[in-house]
Chains A and B, each alone.
Chain A
Amino acid sequence: MAFTITCPICGPRSGYEFRYGGQDKGPRPDPAEMTPETWCDYVHMTDSCPGVQKEWWYHRAGCGIWFTIYRDTTTNLEVSPDSPEAVA
């Protein structure tokens, strides 16, 4: 597999230039209001279902920004944000 990620600034590059930052779970909840359950859900828990997921990546060997892509975890290929799988 030649995993390729499209950086919004640098374009399509080898996946090894990037660091994975997890499934997108939205902004961090207010820590003061977090219970152990909600904290754990935000920090540790994942869906881990095969299919398309929105996720964060950091261009470590490049421009140094965090951005999101949609990726099909059953093929390791990027999916357009407009595609039905991504919208669903």
Chain B
Amino acid sequence: MFGLHKRLWAARPVKSSYDAVIIGGGLHGLATAYFLARDHNITNVAVIEKRFIGFGGSGRNTAIVRANQRTQENLPLYKEALDLWPELTRELDFNLMFHNCGNLNLAHSEAALKAMRLQVASAQFLGIDSRLLDPKECKEVVPALDISGRPRYPITGGMYHPPGGIVRHDAVVWGLAKGCSRRGVHIHQGTEVTGIGFEKGKVAWVDTDRGKIRTPRVLNAAGGYSAGIASRLMGLRLPISVLTIQAMVTQPLKPLLHHVVSSGAYHCYANQTLKGEIVTGAHMDPWPNFTTQTTAAYIKHQAEFVTEFLPCLKGAKFMRIWGGLADMTPDMAPIIDGHVPAEGCFLDCGWGYFGFKSSTVTGRYMARYMATGECPEILQPFALKRFQEHRLMGETAALVDYSANN
């Protein structure tokens, strides 16, 4: 009765040519493949994944979704993404478990309140529900908060964003894979791209450890490995530093936190999954590396900080910590571009640790870009050339500490 014995996606032989090849079986790659098939009838598509689908950031993020970013370039993308979860749940017939619980972002200083006011005003102007709360109102939303003067950075207010929440990240990966497979897309797991070939200034093929594939379009959506693939296989250096980001969960508890709570000053967030675990994370060691190793210093830091504003969590126990790769750009905004360095080459990378939230909608627009060759207006601000033009995106107000340039 539950279709128990139907595989979610099929294993197929690698063909010698595809209309599009997507490097990376994560959310961005799968979403692009799905929308190429759904919206543009391009179904002869291969998604090439070195490990298994969702191995990278797609399966390691903490599944928080929201649309309360800082800039008007970013906000519409994230807003559309929020609207897409219920639609995709229905269409894929796979429960993505979007839990619209709302996000509360805490301020611990006058400066943070001012920064939040900018975010709130921008969101409201663009028709997104986001509001400022005073400490008492914060406590009404999240009773576990300590709004006294005891913490080293007392809470001065908060930004409450009701439309946000959490989604089950694995479900999105599997649901999209199911949708792709049903529409004829090939998903090749355990397959590594080893080269990209060009002819007459256009992309012509990719080499894999399972043979050569001819294709007129290649999308580099390999997450933490995308910059390495760009520089090694496309001859294109990118302004990306790959850092390890860690997250952890406590043992499951009965409902305690009903929202996603985050704090910039303490640099961490916490929310409770449907299973009852408190997920918390955010810290990154500021040096590039390709390990997903976790660190002792981080667990300690996280425990110290999250219990500053949620002191009751001292009574919870951490049971699992993990790491993933975040491909950070200098302005904390992604690099989405096409026809660089050659016609037919597309980039969707530099998403850092926020690639989950808008993965599906980016896939939808990237699919349009790849199908038509024209960059949709909403993606234009993310072009690579902004860095040499000294026009950073402004998504982060402060300077980032993994760059030598501050």
- Residues on A lying within 8 angstroms of B by beta carbon are 1-3, 15-16, 19-22, 36-37, 39-41, 43-50, 56, 73-76
Does the CB pair B240–A3 fall under 8 Å? no
> Is B228 interfacial (CB 8 A cutoff)?
yes
Most buried by B among A40, A44, A56, A74: A44
**CB pair B387 A40 closer than 8 Å:** yes
Q: How far is the CA of A46 from the CA of B327 in the complex (A)?
A: 12
User: Does the CB pair B228–A76 fall under 8 Å?
Assistant: no
Kindly report which residue of chain B lies nearest to residue A5, judged by CB atoms. B287
Q: Is B319 an interface residue (CB 8 A)?
A: no
Bound CA span A1–B299, Å: 12
Q: Which chain B residues border A50 with CB–CB below 8 Å?
A: 225, 228, 290
Q: How far apart are B247's CB and chain A's nearest CB, in angstroms?
A: 15
Q: Are A76 and B291 in contact (CB under 8 A)?
A: yes
Chain B interface residue number, banded: 20 to 34
State A44–B236 Cα separation when bound (angstroms): 13
Residues of A within 8 A of B225 (CB): 50
Q: How far is the CB of A85 from chain B (nearest CB, A)?
A: 14
| Residues on A with beta carbons closer than 8 Å to the beta carbon of B388 | 36-37, 39-40, 44
In the complex, number of A-B residue pairs with CB atoms less than 8 Å apart: 80
Question: A75 contacts which of B227, B291, B389 (Cβ < 8 Å)?
Answer: B291
Rank and list the top 10 A-B pairs by shortest CB-CB distance, nearest first: A48-B227, A40-B388, A44-B239, A1-B293, A22-B404, A45-B237, A20-B287, A50-B290, A36-B388, A49-B228
Q: Is B372 an interface residue (CB 8 A)?
A: no
Report chain A residues within 8 Å CB of B285: 3, 15
Measured in the bound complex, the distance between the Cα atoms of B384 and A36 in whole Å is: 13
B residues 215-266 near A (Cβ < 8 Å) are 225, 227-228, 230-232, 237-242
Residues on B with beta carbons closer than 8 Å to the beta carbon of A76: 289, 291, 293
Contact A45 B405 (CB under 8 A): no
Q: Which residues of A contact B297 (CB under 8 A)?
A: 16
* B402 interface residue (CB < 8 Å to A): yes
Shortest distance between the CB of B227 and any CB in chain A (Å): 3
Residues of A within 8 A of B228 (CB): 47-50
B294 interface hit (Cβ, 8 Å): yes
Q: Please state if B389 and A46 are interface contacts (CB–CB under 8 Å).
A: no
